[in-house]
Amino acid sequence: MSNRDEFVTRFGGVFEHSSWIAERAWDNGRIVTPLHAGPVHEALCAEFRAASSDERMGVLRAHPDLAGKLAIAGGLTEESKSEQAGAGLDRLSADEHARFTKLNSRYMADFGFPFIIAVKGHDKNSILAAFETRVENDTETEFATACAEVEKIAGFRIHALLPEG
């Protein structure tokens, strides 16, 4: 990868709708070639962590609700759609969907951002269990937990694009 535009095009979406993270990683000299998954993930996470609280909140707010309105309307990014489908969130019963909707509403009201979990390795039951536990957290704990989950999601997405190294 020889230039910023190529890098941002390829990695700008690994943090949901937040290409500024890839832009800053490139601009701040954090990207070393040849590209490998581990170092790229570390570089992007370093920029995310260096961002202001408001900027990180913006990244959290860019994520869709799990099994929410965007999923039903077909408005998810391809990555989010695939991730949610992999966990079975596209095949919920009416009762399960109602539970997700209720939890999404409560969580958003309590924290001001959607519930975020790296769904790889989870199914709908383990996601619901985590949701029901985490909705009881205080705001500071949940903000930190959601940020850590965003970094996990980015890692999975980067590993799908690049070899380990």
Q: Do the Cβ atoms of 99 and 127 come closer than 8 Å? A: no
94-125 in b/e form (b: 16+ CB < 10 A) is eebeebbeebbeebeeebebbbbbbbeebebe
| Integer Cα distance of 139 and 145 in angstroms | 10
Catalytic residues: 63
Q: Do the Cβ atoms of 65 and 72 come closer than 8 Å? A: no
User: Of 76, 81, 86, 61, which Cα lies nearest the Cα of 150?
Assistant: 61
